[in-house]
Structure 1
Amino acid sequence: MAIQVANLNFSPPVFLAPLAGITDLPFRTLVSSFGAGLVVSEMVASQEMVQAKPGVRERAELGFGVANTSVQLAGRDAEWMAEAARMVEANGARIIDINMGCPAKKVVNGYSGSALMRDLDHALTLIDAVVGAVSVPVTLKTRLGWDDDLMNAPELAKRAENSGIAMVTIHGRTRCQFYKGRADWAAIANVKQAVDIPVIANGDIVDHDTAKTALTQSGADGIMIGRGAQGRPWVLAQIAAELTGADVPDAPTGNDLIRIVQDHYSAMISFYGAALGNRVARKHLGWYMDEAHTPAALRQRVLTETDPDTTLSLIPEALDPAHGVAA
């Protein structure tokens, strides 16, 4: 199983979704180490990137020169989008994704993200600007529509394809659903039928069963996993193996898991610096401890510790498999 996007080949067709504050360089690198067809950067605001706002370029860093990484841009102004795309390409990005699916109020109120589904003519000006500015493949990520009365993803996808978009990912909810209810994978089939480019299904895919059902109902060419990878960066590789009939790798346990989590934590400290890295890492440590059934008191100690060396020393105890027996 593989997906061809322009001159790029992505195999397996199991991708990591962009997640704000989560899919940073350390996490994308970790997921890629287990195996993923494509990983996508956190959403990068195009104007802020061009104006070199602190922290913005770091979100796109892994996209530079890495074949299985996409840098995702968002914005509402064609000139800023085009300039950001040129900048990202010049730094070595191999593929650029346009965000027209983020439901966050501050994004939508800025007429970016899924707000663009209410004005497809304007959305197309942004797509045309980015596609026209770069030579690398450009993809699109969006939702089924704005709400139940405006389910226009098939129209947007078709117009985007005509403008040169090479692949489209559909989250199986409307903007007004945010992340509530269940993703409607069957509705993604309408997009698949409307275009000839690859279509990726996204939303509520967390294991082999949901992945297989999503592919069956949507007819999509691949899947994208977001929240399902939290605390389980190896899950994409496991799902891909099951879908292709390959031997499914076991989830890391014992000393292997401890090493992975400690290395992930250390990478975040190195990337962000001690103070910020420790704060940003807490959500990831929390998810790892969810899987390990870490006792509440120990969990609290790990998540409130401010010294990185002490945190590293607490990780083996926090991930002790005996916790799962007692839970």
Structure 2
Amino acid sequence: MLKIGNVELKNNLILAPMAGVTDLPFRLLCKQQGAGLLCMEMVSAKAIYYNNKNTEALMEIHEEECPVSLQLFGSDPYIMSEIAKRIEERPFSILDINMGCPVPKVVNNQEGSALMKDPKLVKEIVTQTVKAIKKPVTVKIRKGFDENNINAVEIAKIIEDSGAAAIVVHGRTREQYYSGKADWDIIRQVKEKVSIPVIGNGDVVDPQSALKLKQETGCDGIMIGRGVRGNPWLFSQINEYLQRGVLVEQPTIQQIKEMIIEHAKLQVKYKGEYIGIREMRKHTAWYTAGCPHSARLRSKVNEIENLDSLVSLLDEYLV
């Protein structure tokens, strides 16, 4: 079990926030499979501040998925704290501040992982946001901005001193994006220097890597990102392995097909058929990677426009 502020999680497995992936339908599936905490797609504090209409859908939360962490990104301490206050009544349990996003349009705005270059600003943002709300505030960081600026330990101590309830460390620099190998040793270093919970992130793709991350770093929580795309079963597999030492068999072709259809139905329910099914194209490619005929299925799935044609396609290829 893991406690973040006053929020008790059933286990220490956490779904990472991923733009275009961790929307409401996918989070519901990960919850079913045993994720202890679900992180939403990151939302721009500035966009909420200026009443951007697109942010509303990003902030939709279903009571079945709680506890949920809502992630804000921004670089203005005033706007970050004001928005935290404005949205606090929404049904999320934890507010996370993004200081790890490597995407150029975010970094060029001095947001996301660019904040790691400005420890003073990190302190202001975290301090003001923590003061603004009663809910626990967490922060997601990287190893550093680049190999010449590896300052995760320094930034983590500032975050702790500023009142945050937990910290997530992704073991890559901004420069690495998601390439190369995650440096788990930096997670261990942070864990040794702060007393708030430390959540390790990077390269957890199966039960064995989850256990290895925990053993090598002593981290309190395990955050799973790209390894869970097309594989929500990963949460139940890791839980079984960490709690009972049991390696669960991989899902069958039939189970994969059923999960894709369930996912697609949730997409249609929450986003309508037009958007929902188009968004299912990438998910279907992830779910079926490595399946027989998957290359042909992936090229065909890009032509489907409704739920019935998706089901027919799966019936044809996933046998």
Query: How would you bin the TM-score normalised by the shorter chain?
Result: over 0.9
How far 1:60 sits from its partner (Å)?
2.2
Q: Deviations over 1:115-145 (max 9, x none)?
A: 0000010111111121111101111101011
Gaps of 5+ in 1: 321-327
Secondary structure, counterpart of 1:62 in structure 2: coil
How far apart, in 1, do the equivalents of 2:72 and 2:16 lie? 13
How far apart, in 2, do the equivalents of 1:7 and 1:298 lie? 46
How far 1:87 sits from its partner (Å)?
2.8
Q: Aligned pair in 2 of structure 1 residues 143, 57: CA closer, same or farther (>3 Å)?
A: same
1:236 aligns with 2:235: yes
User: Percent identity at matched positions?
Assistant: 39
Q: Which of 201-210 and 65-74 deviates more?
A: 65-74
Answer whether contact 1:186 1:217 (CA < 8 A) is retained: yes
TM-score (norm 1): 0.92
Secondary structure, counterpart of 1:142 in structure 2: strand
How far apart, in 2, do the equivalents of 1:123 and 1:148 lie? 20
How far apart, in 1, do the equivalents of 2:311 and 2:176 lie? 39
State the one-letter code of the partner of 2:58: R
Gaps of 5+ in 2: none
How far apart, in 1, do the equivalents of 2:124 and 2:251 lie? 46
Secondary structure, counterpart of 1:216 in structure 2: helix
How far apart, in 1, do the equivalents of 2:141 and 2:236 lie? 24
How far 1:246 sits from its partner (Å)?
5.8
Secondary structure, counterpart of 1:164 in structure 2: coil
- Aligned residue number for residue 21 of structure 1: 20
- Aligned residue number for residue 163 of structure 2: 164
Q: Aligned pair in 2 of structure 1 residues 244, 295: CA closer, same or farther (>3 Å)?
A: closer
Q: Aligned pair in 2 of structure 1 residues 52, 274: CA closer, same or farther (>3 Å)?
A: farther
- Aligned residue number for residue 119 of structure 1: 118
How far apart, in 2, do the equivalents of 1:21 and 1:295 lie? 22
- Aligned residue number for residue 306 of structure 1: 305
State the one-letter code of the partner of 1:84: I
TM-score (norm 2): 0.94
Q: Which of 101-110 and 283-292 deviates more?
A: 283-292
Answer whether contact 1:64 1:94 (CA < 8 A) is retained: no
Q: Aligned pair in 2 of structure 1 residues 65, 262: CA closer, same or farther (>3 Å)?
A: closer
- Aligned residue number for residue 46 of structure 1: 45
- Aligned residue number for residue 34 of structure 2: 35
1:206 aligns with 2:205: yes
How far 1:288 sits from its partner (Å)?
1.2
State the one-letter code of the partner of 1:87: R
State the one-letter code of the partner of 1:124: K
Answer whether contact 1:65 1:91 (CA < 8 A) is retained: no
How far 1:54 sits from its partner (Å)?
2.8
How far apart, in 2, do the equivalents of 1:125 and 1:293 lie? 53
Q: Aligned pair in 2 of structure 1 residues 174, 296: CA closer, same or farther (>3 Å)?
A: closer
How far apart, in 2, do the equivalents of 1:59 and 1:245 lie? 36
Q: How big is the alpha-carbon RMSD for the aligned residues of Structure 1 and Structure 2? A: 1.8
Q: Which of 284-293 and 135-144 deviates more?
A: 284-293
Answer whether contact 1:64 1:93 (CA < 8 A) is retained: no
State the one-letter code of the partner of 1:31: C
Secondary structure, counterpart of 1:287 in structure 2: helix
How far 1:112 sits from its partner (Å)?
0.4
How far 1:52 sits from its partner (Å)?
2.8
